[in-house]
Chains A and B, each alone.
Chain A
């Protein structure tokens, strides 16, 4: 991407008429941080629990014969936690200041952006998109660690075929919690850290469109986690991450933690999506037309768009579930006119697009980075954009394939089978663009590039098995089996997580100023990749043999495949720990990286590292697309020479410059 002369200069504070400064810059936010948030959250949670306890009795039952009183108390406790935490972190200061007409001054904005606060800025309601990106990175890694630990427990239980380590309820709770923790982690692992840190710079902006909403989105995510984690102590989450009705309505109060988490996370996602999309649409550098926008930005935009449109459906499904428990409504209670299919529809209206919310940013990141390591333009940029938006469009009409076997509207199964199979077309566009870009290229074998090969492999396996599962007749046999579990892990982990690892490795130098240790990072990556194949190829076998999912006792017929899967899972764990160690070690004492370590042409590679507070000393003007590598392509010249030789009868001149 070529940049040209300056057209816009930074407006420093003295040039602009400032509102009156009330007190020190930052005002109340000077006293708000993670500790005050924690304290206020806990205090308000305890207060809410205690006060509601005075007004509720333990006798009244809801339609599913669950005591309403304790449900009300636990709900109040979680709401108290979220509200208290957000007050303590300072989330309400902005709206109140707006209401009172006390607008931010430049000095306030500088304070909020974390200037001069050292490491404390990571623990505060900081608005700088780079800080928020790092916060997202830490939170998503913590979530992945927690979810991964639960995965280890699951595989240990299934691998120890001669004994029962957990009771069935706790085992099912681990499964459900692992599922939803990983889903949340995967939704944010690319869009959070890289969407926030990299995208604004990549489009030539000084910050996100709404810096305070940016801080709000990350802290809402942080507030959402404890209710989910605490479910394990409150009876658990025994119904899988889908928490189907009426099981969820009859479940212990730990279920309320799930519901509060999804509702809170829904706000976080919507706010983050609005912010990212507005930044991309409105804050692109001059000259960055839609045909010059880096493909990674398209991936983030598409993912945000799907989250924005579909997540509220999931959020409302949980609002209704919570109100069925707490105020005894009957959305999902058939005896009182409700329908469990209503839940399934609302749930899967997000539930399936969410796969693309997870996968698209990662795959777009691979498309972005592979051109750098192949030193070639992206093969058919427009084809890739069409693929991304084809997925967005079709993702709206595929949700019923999760409900083939539920008995809901059987006549709709075949149209949805068709639409699901159709979505493999735009997905294939992206794989073809990858393959086309690789064609006859000379790769620079660094970890991010090597991950592209790994992800193509995983995505092809996940995609092909997905086509099988989208077929109604095959799904009748495979539904609810370990085959399904293996399939979606190939998509979500195989394509999603491995892409995220590649993307983080690629932009690590920009975020931290240091290279990610290529040797140990690669060792960790490939160990995890090998373990992954062992775990999930073997799981396909178990599924084909007929092993159902979500059971901890099974026939000895499945022992061997489960032993292999468990060994594979431990290998994944070892690989991930090596990768994590490489990340931590590189962050602390890795080799110092230059501003543009891989010679990329996108804007984020053109700014210094560490990135200055306002990203650009002067705003850039874009004069070309971001993929002008090796132009003209030497292979094209070679082909032209051969063609000319054939047509003109002259000897071919190969190896053109």
Chain B
């Protein structure tokens, strides 16, 4: 423990102790969110492999354009890197770097959010157009939710740096957000990989339940 290390105003503990606790908490949250996202991955791969009622593919095989998934992923990666760059700078006492890093990160995340919403609005299918459409909608919707939350966090770090709450001796919150952004990019990567590599179902002999009519 550094001699000049500040103490938490609420508990009186050194801030490094609180930071270590927070880091573990964020890890646990990431584990929980990962298993949630795993549900989406299971759903995608399961329905893709089954091709129930030959209704995996959207009408006219109008698959989603792939580059937006990757563009959003790259945006999130860059946002994470910017936050990390700022955080590392702050640890060396460079407040300007923290301000720049968190601001760039926030703007990238807002851009990713806008891009994600734009992608959802321009999908060549609706959520009811088969299983692929449903799961892809959910990938995009959940990513939009995560990005929105993350931009709140990133902008919060910028705001807190401005307010003098993020300092060289107490920069752990920025580190935690950088860590969270790595997870965010990981989830976007999984979505991008799924939609890129698993389009046409391998099951060409799927069970056929026919078409249903309103009773």
Contact = CB atoms under 8 A, between A and B. Distances in A.
Contact of B52 (A13, A309, A311, A338): A338
A206 interface: yes
Given A337-B53, A339-B50, A345-B42, A312 B131 contact: no
Instruction: Classify chain B: how many residues form its interface, as a range.
Output: 35 or more
A504 to B, nearest CB: 27
A54 interface: no
A101 B165 contact: yes
Contacts of B128: 62-63, 327-330, 336
A405 interface: no
Interface stretch (A82-90, A272-280, A371-379): A272-280
B12 to A, nearest CB: 2
Chain A, interface SS category: helix
Interface string A294-337: 00000000000000111111011101100100011111001111
Contacts of A12: 12
Given A18-B9, A105-B9, A273 B32 contact: yes
Contact of A312 (B36, B126, B165): B36
Contacts of B47: 331, 337-339, 342
B98 to A, nearest CB: 13
Given A99-B152, A278-B25, A330-B134, A337 B162 contact: no
A82 B11 CA distance: 31
Interface centre among B39, B47, B51, B56 (most CB of A within 10 A): B39
A319 B37 CA distance: 12
A18 B10 CA distance: 8
A327 B24 CA distance: 37
A17 B9 contact: yes
B35 interface: yes
B165 A210 contact: no
Contact of B39 (A270, A335, A346): A346
B36 A335 contact: no
B173 to A, nearest CB: 8
B33 interface: yes
B198 interface: no
A348 B66 CA distance: 33
A274 B32 contact: yes
Interface in B104-153: 126-135, 137-138, 152
Contacts of B127: 323, 327-329
Of the candidates B40, B130, B137, B215, the one having the most CB atoms from chain A within 10 angstroms of its own CB is B130
Which of B33, B35, B51, B159 has the largest count of A CB atoms less than 10 A from its CB? Answer: B35
A282 B21 CA distance: 6
Central interface residue in A109, A312, A336, by most chain B CB within 10 Å? A336
Nearest to A269: B32
B209 A335 contact: yes
A106 B9 CA distance: 6
Interface string B9-21: 1111100000011
A537 to B, nearest CB: 38
B58 to A, nearest CB: 9
A283 B18 CA distance: 10
A507 B208 CA distance: 59
Task: Tell me which of B6, B9, B11, B135 has the highest count of chain A C-beta atoms within 10 A of its own C-beta.
Answer: B9
B9 A16 contact: yes
Contact of A308 (B13, B31, B212): B31
A274 B24 CA distance: 9
Contact of A313 (B6, B12, B39, B160): B39
Contacts of B10: 104-106, 108-109
B44 to A, nearest CB: 10
Contact of A103 (B25, B165, B210): B165
A316 B209 contact: no
B62 interface: no
A441 interface: no
A323 B159 contact: no
Interface residues of A, number: 64
Given A278-B28, A282-B20, A335-B53, A17 B6 contact: yes
Interface in B194-209: 207, 209
A61 interface: yes
Contacts of B60: none
Contacts of B209: 334-335
A337 B25 contact: no
Contacts of B29: 270, 274
A159 B29 CA distance: 47
A151 B57 CA distance: 46
Nearest to A100: B159
B53 A336 contact: yes
Interface in A89-142: 95, 98-101, 103-106, 108-109
A334 B56 CA distance: 10
B87 to A, nearest CB: 17
Nearest to B173: A98
A345 B32 CA distance: 18
Nearest to B24: A278
B212 to A, nearest CB: 5
Contact of B131 (A10, A105, A207, A330): A330
Nearest to B26: A274
A24 interface: no
B20 A310 contact: no
Given A11-B13, A309-B32, A331 B134 contact: yes
Given A16-B8, A16-B9, A323-B127, A331 B165 contact: no
A65 interface: yes
B30 to A, nearest CB: 10
B12 A320 contact: no
Contacts of A105: 9-10
Contacts of B138: 319-320, 323, 329
A315 B156 CA distance: 28
A337 B214 contact: no
Nearest to A267: B32
Given A101-B165, A103-B165, A278 B21 contact: yes
Given A15-B12, A61-B214, A98-B156, A210 B39 contact: no
Interface of B: 6-13, 20-21, 24-25, 28-29, 31-33, 35-36, 38-40, 42-43, 46-47, 50-56, 126-135, 137-138, 152, 155-156, 159-160, 162-165, 207, 209-212, 214-215
Given A16-B12, A312-B36, A337-B52, 9 more contacts: A13-B9, A63-B128, A270-B29, A273-B28, A282-B21, A312-B38, A316-B43, A323-B134, A337-B47
20 contacts: A11-B12, A15-B7, A18-B9, A98-B160, A99-B160, A207-B11, A209-B21, A210-B21, A274-B25, A311-B32, A317-B39, A334-B207, A335-B209, A335-B210, A336-B53, A337-B55, A337-B132, A337-B134, A338-B131, A339-B46
Interface of A: 10-13, 15-19, 61-63, 65, 95, 98-101, 103-106, 108-109, 206-207, 209-210, 213, 270, 273-275, 277-278, 281-283, 308-313, 315-317, 319-320, 323, 327-331, 334-339, 342, 345-346
